[in-house]
Amino acid sequence: MKKEIAVGDGLRQLPIRPIYLVSCQHKGKKNIISVGMFALFSGKPTLVGVGIAPSRYSYDLIRKSGEYVVNAVDENLVEAVRICGEKSGKEVDKFKLAKLTPEKGIKVNAPLIKESPVSIECKVIREVEVGDHVWFIGEAQAAHVRENYDWSDGLMFKWIGEDGFFYEVGEKIAKY
Ligand SMILES: Cc1cc2nc3c(=O)[nH]c(=O)nc-3n(C[C@H](O)[C@H](O)[C@H](O)COP(=O)(O)O)c2cc1C
């Protein structure tokens, strides 16, 4: 028999909460935001979404440009996730502060992050206001992976902000 726990505690037990660095650009202003609200909405077409609170500087940039890039993170990017999740692009240049390098994509003007192992270029097709975030649903336009990247090296996919820990993708356990 299961015991009832607070909804927030229940959510923390689920294997959700991926972490990404989402890069964006409008009129030459580049920015990066750490994002836990990410979802795959459709296979064909490939639609993904990121939930961004309207108070974020990135919200304006994504809204105005209609583009963003989802960049996966690994253990080398923990500090960058902290910086991009605490500082606002209104006040600082997060590429400089987090020592990240913008790289030109092929389909959108928003930059890829060179240090990220996997980057997906997206164009916004819909905005959905839900609760305290706006979901920018984007159609994936192009995907990039670092040469020789082996995803079993581990990507960060769980963030338990409340106890202050990041977790990475676990071990291979069974064949599909
Ligand atoms: C691990 C982590 C995940 C986060 N996830 C989100 C998210 O999904 N959506 C969001 O709006 N803010 C999220 N935040 C908070 C923003 O990253 C943070 O407010 C950031 O400073 C906003 O930057 P900006 O003003 O330059 O856009 C997260 C922060 C951290 C550390």
Q: What is the pLDDT of residue 13?
A: 82
Element containing residue 7 per DSSP (H, E): helix 7-13
- Phi, psi values for residue 5, rounded to 5°: -130, 170
Pocket flag, ligand 1, residue 71 (CB < 6 Å): no
DSSP 57: H
Amino acid making up residue 122: C
Verify whether ligand 1 is closer than 6 Å to residue 102 (CB atom): no
| Mean pLDDT score, 109-135 | 97
Centre of ligand 1 to C-alpha 76, Å, is: 19
Better pLDDT: 161 or 103: 103
62 burial level (CB within 10 Å; 0-12, 13-18, 19+): buried
- From the CA of 175, how far away is ligand 1's center (Å)? 35
Model confidence at 160, pLDDT cuts 50, 70, 90, reads: confident
Cβ 52 under 6 angstroms from ligand 1: yes
- What average pLDDT score do residues 72-101 get? 96
The model carries a pTM of 0.94
Whole-angstrom distance, CA of residue 175 vs CA of residue 105 = 34
Which of 13-27, 81-95, 152-166: highest mean pLDDT? 81-95
